[in-house]
Amino acid sequence: MDQQFINRETWLSQAVSILEPIFSQVGFGIPPLKVSCGFAASSSPRTTLGQCWPRERSGDLVNEIFISPRIEEPVEILDTLVHEICHAIDDCQSGHGADFQGIATMVGLEGPARMAHAGEGLRIKLETLSKKLGPYPHRALIFPPPRPSNSSRTKAKCTQCGYEVTLLKKWESYGAPICPKDKVRMEEFGNEVVVEDEEQKLKDKEIKRAIS
């Protein structure tokens, strides 16, 4: 029967407890840790789903894990949590190196280490556990689209010396500026729309996790 949790941290703490057998069955104990919903530090919040901090960085000397507010689906959160618990067991010492990979493989994660996620067998277990936990009391934050890069904005170039500038959108209607060196009007170029290709879209959907 689904349980009802009043906040995210309570759900996440219970999730750690309910995941314990997955680790103990292959000989690993989950160390003392705290789990919260929050953005990863020093990583892109758009792509990083989880982050584990080593004990020495915590005032309580425990591993601290943060699950991105971008995600709300219980199985995806459990999948991310398993990945980060593997880091906690290693106390983040090996990054995504051999020791981490050994732990991850034994509990059922697969794929490149940085993006290691539940294989078919582990995912079935996580689906069952998610039903015991019930809904995650959080709705995903929706990020605004990325700001256009300079490559997608109108630019101006001096045909004599090659001097280039990027035109801010609010000044585009004024036309190209005068070159400060040759005192001639520069020519506009590069006003093309950057279209995201399918390969990039797939990359953006990949699970990416990082540790500090």
At 24-35, the pLDDT tens digits run 999 999 999 999
Query: What pLDDT is stored for residue 34 in this prediction?
Result: 97
At 70-106, the pLDDT tens digits run 999 999 999 999 999 999 999 999 999 999 999 999 9
This prediction's pTM: 0.71
At 197-212, the pLDDT tens digits run 444 444 444 545 544 4
The structure tokens listed for 179 are 């070159």
Proportion of the chain above pLDDT 70, given as a percent: 83
Return the closest-CA partner of residue 171 out of 155, 187, 160.
155
Identify whether the C-beta of residue 154 lies closer than 8 Å to the C-beta of residue 191.
Answer: yes
Query: What pLDDT is stored for residue 197 in this prediction?
Result: 44
At 43-72, the pLDDT tens digits run 677 789 999 999 999 999 999 999 999 999
